[in-house]
Chain A
Amino acid sequence: MSASALHILLLGTLALIGVGLYGLLAVRNLIKVIVALQIMVKGALLALVMAGAAAGQPNLGQSLAATVIVADTVVAVVGLALAVQVRRYVGTLDVRALSSLKK
C-alpha cells in the first residue's frame, strides 16, 4: 500500500475517533452517546485494517477487525439495554438527569 493512501486512511481514522469523542462530549441523549461510542470504535476498526495492510498482513488486520466487531456489538447491546432501563426507571434519556452521584 502506498504511503499517501496510508496517510489518507490515518486521517480518516483520526477524524472518526475525533468525531466520536466530540459527540460524546456534546450530545445529551443516551442513545446518541452510544452512537458516538460506535463511531469511535469504527475509527479503531479502520485503524486495525489499515495497520494490517501497512504491515503486509491484510488478513491479520481484517480478522482482528472482525473480532472487534463481535466484542463491540456486545458492548453496544449492553449500552442500549442500559438505555432502555434508564428510560424506564429514570423517565428520560437525557444524560444530565444521570447526575445524582456527585463527588
Chain B
Amino acid sequence: MTAFAWLIIVPLAASPLVYLTGQWGIRRGHPGAARWAGLIALLAAWVPFTQAAAGFAANGTATLTAGAQMLALDGVSLLLAALALGLGTLVALYSAAYMAADDGQDKYYAMLVLLVGVMIGLGCATDLFNLWLWFEGMAISTYLLVAFYRTQPASLEAGVKYLVQSAVGSVFVLFGIALVLAQTGTLTLGEIAAQATLTPGFLAAGALFVIGFGVKVAAAPMHTWLPDAHAQAPSGISAMLSGVVIEAGLIALLRALSALAGLALPWGVLLMAFGALNMLVGNLMALRQQQVKRLLAFSSLSHVGYMLIGLGVAVYAGEAAGAEGGLFHMLTHGLMKGLAFLAAGALLWALHLARGDHGALTIDDLRGAARRYPLIALALSAAVLALGGLPPLAGFMSKWQIFQAGAATHETALLLVVIFAGLNSVLSLAYYAPLVNTMYRREPSEAVLAGAPVPASMRLPLIVLLLAVVIVGFWPGLLAGLTGPAGAALLAAFGGG
C-alpha cells in the first residue's frame, strides 16, 4: 500500500469516526469532542502526505490499482492535496471557537474531514467516471456545509440554489461521460485521448463537460450560485469553498478536457474567453456589494478568471510558464482568499454571531475595526491587498507570472488579454481599497465598540496565513516544488510542453 492511498483513506475513514466521537461527546456533555477528533484526523493525514510528497519527489508519479480502477498521484494531485489539507487543517482549528456555540458540530467536522478527503481523491482520479464520483462526493459534502445554519432562511436559500445548479451540472457531465463511453468503449483518460477525434459526439461531450464542470468552477454565466453559497456558509467553509473547492472543480474540468485534447479544438482560447468574462463579471459585481463576504465571493469569480487565463495560455501556446502561473495563482488564491474569509469571518463572529445575530457583516460595520482588532484588520487588509495584486504580496507574484507567460508568447491577441487582465487587477483595487480605508481611517462604529474579543484559536490560523501570504510574496520560488511538476503534468496531459 503506497503512502498516497493512506492520504485518501485517512480522511475518508476518519469522517464517520469524527461524527461518532461528536455524538458520543454530546451524550457525555462534551459538545466540542468532534472538533478535537476533526483536528486530529486532519493532522494525522499530514503523515501520509509528507510521505507521499517525499515519494513523489524521489520517484515521480505514483499509481494505485484497486480492481480495474486506477488512482495516480501526479503533480496536479499533489498540489491539490497540499492546498486542501493545508487550508482544511487551519479551518478546523479556526472553527473550534467559531462554531463552539452551534448545534451539529459533529456533522460539521465530519463533513469538513470528508470534504478534504474527497478533494484529495478527486485530484488522483484517472478515469472519467471516477472523476465524476469524487466530484459528486465533493458536491454532497458541500451542500450540507453551505446550508449548515439550517434555521436561517438565507442559508437554506443558498443551499437550495447551490444544490439545484450543481446537480444539473452533474447530469450534464454524466451525459458527456455516456457519449464518450459509447464512442470509445473506455473511460480511462489516457485511452480516450488516444481515440478522440473531431466528431459531433465528442464535440457534444466536450460542451457538456464545459457546462457541467463549469458550474462548479463558477465560470460566468454559470456562477449565480457562488455568491450566495460562499456568503451564507459558515466562514471557515467559505474559505474552503473559495480557496479549494472551485479550484478542485477547475482541475476536474481540465482533466476531463485533457482527454478530449485530440479534438484539436482551441480549448485554450475557450478557457481564456471564460477567464476574461469571469474577471469582468466578478469585478463589476463586487464593486456594488455592501456585504463583506459577498464582496469576497464575487472577487473569487474574478480570480478564477486569472487562473483560467494562465491555464488557457498554457494550453493554447504550450507555454509551461502559463500553467505554472495558473496553478501558482490557485495556491496563492487559496492562501489569500482563505485569509480574507477567515479574517472577515472573525469580525463577523465578533460583531454579530457571538451576540446571537445572524445578520451579514457590511462594509459599514468595519468602520474603525483596526482600533479594536488590530491583528484581524491587518490580516484582512493584507489579504485584500494581496488579492488586488499589490507587490510584494503573494497575489502580485502569481498574477505577474501569468501576465509574463501571456506576454512571452509575443502574440497580439494574448497581449491584449494580458492587458485586459492587468486592467481588471487595477479595477479590483476599487473595491479592495475602501475596505482597508474603512478599517483604518474611520472612527469606530457602534458594532465594533460593542464587539466580542476574538479568541486565540481563531487568531492563530490568521497569523499562519498572513505570514504565508507575505513570505510567498517575497520568495515565490518556495512553492515552485509544487507548481513546477503540476504545470508539467497538466501540459503533458494536453499533449503539449
Contacts and interface: CB of A to CB of B under 8 A. Distances in A.
A24 B168 contact: yes
B133 A71 contact: yes
B285 interface: yes
A21 interface: yes
Contacts of A41: 167, 171, 174
Interface residues of B, number: 43
Contacts of A47: 174-175, 178-179
A4 interface: no
Interface string A50-62: 1110111100110
B270 interface: no
Main DSSP-derived SS at the B contact region: helix
B82 interface: no
Report, as a range, how many residues of chain A touch the other chain.
Answer: 35 or more
Of residues B150, B156, B288, which shows the largest number of chain A Cβ atoms within 10 Å of its Cβ? Answer: B156
Given A17-B175, A44-B174, A89-B156, A57 B185 contact: yes
Contacts of A56: 185
- Chain A interface helix/strand/loop/mixed: helix
A50 B178 contact: yes
Contact of A98 (B139, B151, B157, B184): B157
Interface in B278-312: 285, 288
Interface string A15-59: 001001100100000100100010011011101101110111100
Contacts of B26: none
Interface of A: 13, 17, 20-21, 24, 30, 33, 37, 40-41, 43-45, 47-48, 50-52, 54-57, 60-61, 64, 67-68, 71, 74-75, 78-79, 82-83, 85-86, 89-90, 95, 98-101, 103
Given A64-B181, A79-B164, 12 more contacts: A37-B171, A40-B171, A43-B171, A48-B177, A50-B178, A67-B133, A71-B137, A75-B139, A83-B160, A86-B160, A89-B150, A89-B156
